[in-house]
Structure 1
Amino acid sequence: MRRRALLGAALATLALATPTLAQEPWPSRPLRFIVPFPPGGASDFVGRVTAEFLTARLGQPVVIENRGGAGGNIGTEAAARAAPDGYTLVLGAIGTVAVNRFLFRRLPYDPDRDLTPISLLALVPNLMVVPLGLPVATPGEFAAWARAQGAGVSFGSIGNGTSQHLAGVQFNMLTGTQMVHVPYRDPAQANTDLMEGRVQVLFQSISGVAQLAKTGRMKALAVTGEERVPAFAELPTLREAGIDVTTVGWFGLMAPAGVPEPVLARLEAEAVAAMQDPGVAARVAETGSLARARGRDHFARFIAEETGRMRTIVQASGAVAD
């Protein structure tokens, strides 16, 4: 009887302890941060800067996992299918969240159902550049020149559905130009073809052409988006020039749907703090990007607005990716 009583007491103690053991403090182990693009470039840089800050604030390593492919779909799907325990994060981008749903006939995840917005991190404006010999000095002059050429003008980008491609499509829509899209696999080749006059304009990432523009190898006319960028503070936005090309790249922190509210709140607070940190903002600016600390509610509204705009522009482009 005594042995049976002791066994019963031990089982009761274990039963009481089990919930406590299950509710381990978060985070108690490393986090995986999926960047759904190859290493290098603005996406990887913004992801790594954010991961470094989160590592210091959370007290656990935040480990970058580059899983590129299919326009970011492969890595984003992996995140969407991960356990919603707060230990998997993903870098959301204009393509994976707002564009690909219209570009791909079959998207392997639903951005609205399968992912949770945590915070906007950075905006990535594009620089409108033309060859040195082109007889234009402003976006308006370029639009007038391009209209006169009809379909004889081409613009390059790093692929269908990228912000560079869709900025060119939006420019066509707003100005009545008929520029033909030329997609490139290699951004350096696009830059070379622009400088040699084989394409007449690029809406290229600032980090990809800043040095070429600053050293006088191509002519910068304006930046896309709603605000000027520090690296080219003298250049107007296309909106200021009267052509409201608002298409920019962007990145944000996201997680699988279903992450517990306390974990989301902590991640939101730390991500916002990261982009408000002067040192982090300065490092992000090195890529030509703009750090933007915007939490869950703002980021969710931003995604909804971007999705609506991208639907119109992608459909106007006629582009498909599969």
Structure 2
Amino acid sequence: MSAIPLSRRAALLGLGACAMPMVGLRAQGLGDWPNRPIRWVNPGPAGGAGDVISRLIADRLQAKLGQPIVVDNRPGAGTNIGMTQVARAAPDGYTVGLASIAANAANKWLYRNMPFDPEKDFAAVGLIALVPNIVVIPPSVPARTLQEFITWAKAQNRPINFGSVGAGSSQHLAGSQFQIITGVPLQHLPYTNGGQMNSDLIEGRLDLLFQSISAVTQMAQAGRMRPLAVSGAARVEAFPDLPTMQEQGVDITSTGWFGLCTPAGVPEPILAKLDTELQEIVQDPALAQRLSAGGAIPRAMGRADFARFMAEESAKWRVVIQAVGASVD
């Protein structure tokens, strides 16, 4: 029997190495999944915090699964448009969606006619990150601290205009909670264009924003808008000297958040695989640094805990939304 030529032997070894991941997947009861690209639906706008997080995670997940993961931005209706597509997709593991405080916690209390049931129509995979908001005001407003702003706002004898990227967003909910706690009357103005919202604040057409940190870091650091506080439970890496709202006497520690979900009914082995890989990705120190630099807080959380987390968030925001009487339709 003649020896296999060296070049052919190397090629066969290479094919064997490529086949090993798929053998491992079959051993886990995954069949040949995935054998084609996976669609990742981001229900928010391009360039937003959800888009950035989607692409960071998708790039790493596709390296682990061996198939392209294509991020598909489907914004609109407070994330309901994109998440409706996830809910109605085939439960075969080839469509995943970016879960958020809007679609998976708040919207059912804001919209009378929801196109999906956030508890029944999705399967939780895992939490990715908490996303505190930064409180920013125009440079023309004289306040330098949160308490000074509250005093100024109450002296205006009019509702204080604040913007958000849409009803049910973490910015909208932070404003609603701020109104309840401080007694400052707020007028919510939803935007579809985050850039225009930032411009309106800088030019004084808005009085206040609870904005995602990554969206305003450069403008705040350049003095075009004035940061007053962050909304999370702790200070953030991007603004280490900026106190939290709680440190300034306003007991708001809630934050936005993003996680991963699939349509309900995806086979258990696929959900388990996604859960395992996602937790490994989120706990990677290099990714954690990327997320932290943009104002997010990496937070790995498995499927069962993430499902409980979303249910608790829904219950919490129901109280806030009903207290301020917020409604979209």
For this structure pair, what is the TM-score category when the shorter chain's length is used for normalisation?
0.7 to 0.9
- Following TM superposition, by how much is the alpha carbon of 1:207 offset from its aligned partner in structure 2, in angstroms? 1.8
Instruction: Choose which of 252, 268, 272 in structure 2 pairs with 1:265.
Output: 272
Instruction: Choose which of 138, 159, 164 in structure 2 pairs with 1:131.
Output: 138
User: 2:295 is aligned with what amino acid?
Assistant: G
- Following TM superposition, by how much is the alpha carbon of 1:252 offset from its aligned partner in structure 2, in angstroms? 0.5
**Corresponding residue for residue 168 of structure 2:** 161
Q: 1:214 to 1:266 in 2, by over 3 A?
A: same
Q: Within 5 A, what are the aligned runs for 1:1-322?
A: 24-322=31-329
1:66, 1:307 → 2: CA distance?
24
- TM-score after normalising by structure 2: 0.85
**Corresponding residue for residue 12 of structure 2:** none
2:273, 2:301 → 1: CA distance?
14
1:95, 1:23 → 2: CA distance?
32
- Following TM superposition, by how much is the alpha carbon of 1:160 offset from its aligned partner in structure 2, in angstroms? 2.5
For the aligned residues, what is the CA RMSD? 2.1
Query: Runs (4+) of structure 1 moved beyond 6 Å?
Result: none
3-state SS of 1:240 partner? helix
1:97, 1:131 → 2: CA distance?
32
2:35, 2:199 → 1: CA distance?
49
2:30, 2:221 → 1: CA distance?
55
2:206, 2:78 → 1: CA distance?
24
Larger radius of gyration: 1
Cα deviation 1:192-241 (Å, max 9, x = unaligned): 33233332221111122111110112211110122221101111111222
Q: 1:23 to 1:249 in 2, by over 3 A?
A: closer
Q: 1:149 to 1:232 in 2, by over 3 A?
A: same
1:257, 1:279 → 2: CA distance?
32
Structure 2: runs of 5 or more not aligned:
1-26
Further displaced range: 221-230 or 65-74: 65-74
**Corresponding residue for residue 6 of structure 2:** none
- Following TM superposition, by how much is the alpha carbon of 1:144 offset from its aligned partner in structure 2, in angstroms? 2.6
Structure 1: runs of 5 or more not aligned:
1-19
Further displaced range: 100-109 or 257-266: 257-266
8 Å Cα contact 1:150/1:178 also seen in 2: no
- Following TM superposition, by how much is the alpha carbon of 1:270 offset from its aligned partner in structure 2, in angstroms? 0.6
3-state SS of 1:49 partner? helix
- TM-score after normalising by structure 1: 0.87
Q: 1:96 to 1:260 in 2, by over 3 A?
A: same
8 Å Cα contact 1:150/1:179 also seen in 2: no
User: 2:304 is aligned with what amino acid?
Assistant: D
2:171, 2:212 → 1: CA distance?
7
User: 2:89 is aligned with what amino acid?
Assistant: A
8 Å Cα contact 1:146/1:179 also seen in 2: no
Q: 1:192 to 1:27 in 2, by over 3 A?
A: closer
Cα deviation 1:265-298 (Å, max 9, x = unaligned): 1111111111111222222234322222111122
Q: 1:57 to 1:154 in 2, by over 3 A?
A: same
- Following TM superposition, by how much is the alpha carbon of 1:23 offset from its aligned partner in structure 2, in angstroms? 7.0
Cα deviation 1:18-49 (Å, max 9, x = unaligned): xx9x9723333332222223332111111111
Q: 1:210 to 1:55 in 2, by over 3 A?
A: same
3-state SS of 1:272 partner? helix
- Length, aligned pairs only: 302
- Following TM superposition, by how much is the alpha carbon of 1:313 offset from its aligned partner in structure 2, in angstroms? 2.1
